[in-house]
Amino acid sequence: MYNEIKTSFLAKIENVTLARTIGVAFLVNLDLPLNFVNEVKTVISEAVTNAIVHGCLSAENKFVQMNLSYDDVNVYIEIIDDGIGIEDVEKAKEPLFSTKLEEERAGLGFTIMEVFTDKLDVKSSVNKGTKVLMVKKYSEQAKLSQL
Ligand SMILES: Nc1ncnc2c1ncn2[C@@H]1O[C@H](COP(=O)(O)OP(=O)(O)OP(=O)(O)O)[C@@H](O)[C@H]1O
Ligand SMILES: [Mg+2]
């Protein structure tokens, strides 16, 4: 079983809710437990917010791309922007690191993505953009929900 969607939306902060909702709708056929779906919503929110706020600097003429897919085992979430990019990805992933602490950002987005997924892969290039891939395994969870 394989399914995939590709979406693209303007880098406006109100589209974070849209992205989360698309994520939930896409997974509905898998009939997953609520906590799994909530974790997916959370990581989509974190990655899409980063793409809009940091990558695109909320420039509303830019697009953020969200590709979602699943196979028999995993859900795959890919969030792509063609914004400013990240100079040092390893440093950016450290808990509490933020380039926008003055805007009351906690610097925990990547940490949350790491905790709620099985794999987080960040590829970034300065002035070109950032691609965040998250893989979350659902097969065991699906079995549990059928008990
Ligand atoms: N798509 C992106 N484009 C450019 N920079 C990014 C992107 N995503 C993250 N970053 C950089 O990585 C840092 C860490 O991101 P992270 O999500 O962990 O924290 P934050 O967004 O600063 O705070 P929080 O997510 O807790 O509100 C950001 O402060 C930013 O500098
Ligand atoms: Mg963040």
Which residues are CB-neighbours of 48 under 8 A, at least 6 positions away?
Answer: 15, 16, 19, 20, 64, 66, 79
Pocket of ligand 1 (CB under 6 A): 46, 50-51, 54-55, 81, 83-86, 92, 97-100, 105-110, 130
Q: Judge whether 46 counts as a catalytic residue.
A: yes
Is 84 a member of any domain? Answer: yes
Proximal ligand: closest to the CA of 113: 1
What pTM did the predictor assign? Answer: 0.95
Edge-to-edge strand order for the sheet containing 74-81?
3-10, 63-70, 74-81, 129-137, 119-125
Distance CA 44, CA 120 (A): 12
Which two structure tokens, joined as six digits, stand for 35? 């906590």
Full residue range of the structural domain in which residue 106 is found: 3-142
Residue nearest to atom 11 of ligand 1 (CA): 92
The predicted structure's pLDDT at residue 141: 56
Distance 4 CA to ligand 2 centre (A): 25
The predicted structure's pLDDT at residue 103: 85
CATH number at residue 87: 3.30.565.10
Cα 125 to chain centroid distance, Å, stands at: 18
Domains: count for the chain: 1
Q: Judge whether 94 counts as a catalytic residue.
A: no
Confidence check: pLDDT of 145 > 60: no
Distance 93 CA to ligand 2 centre (A): 10
Q: What is the pLDDT of residues 91-134, one digit of tens each?
A: 999 999 999 988 889 999 999 999 999 999 999 999 999 999 99
Is 147 a member of any domain? Answer: no
The predicted structure's pLDDT at residue 58: 79
Q: What is the pLDDT of residues 2-29, one digit of tens each?
A: 999 999 999 999 999 999 999 999 999 9
Determine phi and psi for 77, rounding to 5 degrees: -125, 120
Is 65 a member of any domain? Answer: yes
Q: What is the pLDDT of residues 30-85, one digit of tens each?
A: 999 999 999 999 999 999 999 999 999 978 799 999 999 999 999 999 999 999 99
